[in-house]
Structure 1
Amino acid sequence: MADKNAIFEHVVTTLADLFDLDPKEIHLESHLGDDLDIDSIDAIDLVVELKKFVGKKISPEDFKAVRTVEDIVNAVSELMDKAE
């Protein structure tokens, strides 16, 4: 089972690096669009980076309902659990 704390830390680092965000401003409840100003094009870049972390292809369906950082953590955790 994937450790959600480790996934969260990776997601925070990825978001901060990709979109020049302050890691201290990224929380589980942060809304990608409203709070972090991440649009659909940015989301594609994020999925590309997360694919490297997960180690397998990520389909658009896997991230269709993602709206918050916590949604990302849960989706990545599920993908990693399926890969085991």
Structure 2
Amino acid sequence: MNKEGIIQTINNFLVEEFEVEANVIQPNANLKQSLDLDSLDYVDLVVIIESNFGVKLEGKDFANIHTFNDLYDVVDQKFHALA
């Protein structure tokens, strides 16, 4: 899967699972603020990413995830590291 596919998959499950409007998802927007995430939401996000991409995000990964672009980059890097 290329990065565009990863971005599209992430955006689709954010809209469906977190019930956010698609226009809220902007590459440079703050992820936590845009999705109004709490700690349980982060757990859900980790589980959904693992089930969709086979990669596991850990707490240290989220230290550098501030925007949607950051999330896309981390998932892309971990996904392609598996190959």
Q: Which residue of 2 aligns with 1:16?
A: 15
Structure 2 residue runs without a partner (length 5+) = none
Q: Give the percent of matched residue pairs that are identical in Structure 1 and Structure 2.
A: 27
- Letter of the aligned partner of 2:67 in structure 1? T
Give runs of aligned pairs for residues 25-64 of structure 1, distance below 5 A. 25-64=24-63
Q: What is the RMSD of the two structures over their aligned residues, measured on CA atoms?
A: 1.6
Q: Which residue of 2 aligns with 1:67?
A: 66
Q: For 2:61 and 2:24, locate their aligned partners in 1 and report how far apart those are by CA, in whole Å.
A: 25
Aligned residues: 83
Per-residue displacement from partner, 1:19-59 (whole Å, max 9, x unpaired)?
11111221111212222212232111011100012214333
Q: Which moved more, 1:9-18 or 1:32-41?
A: 32-41
Q: Does 1:79 align with 2:78?
A: yes
Q: Name the one with the larger helix percent.
A: 2
Structure 1 residue runs without a partner (length 5+) = none
Q: Which moved more, 1:56-65 or 1:43-52?
A: 56-65
Scaled by the length of structure 2, what TM-score is found? Answer: 0.84
- Letter of the aligned partner of 2:52 in structure 1? F
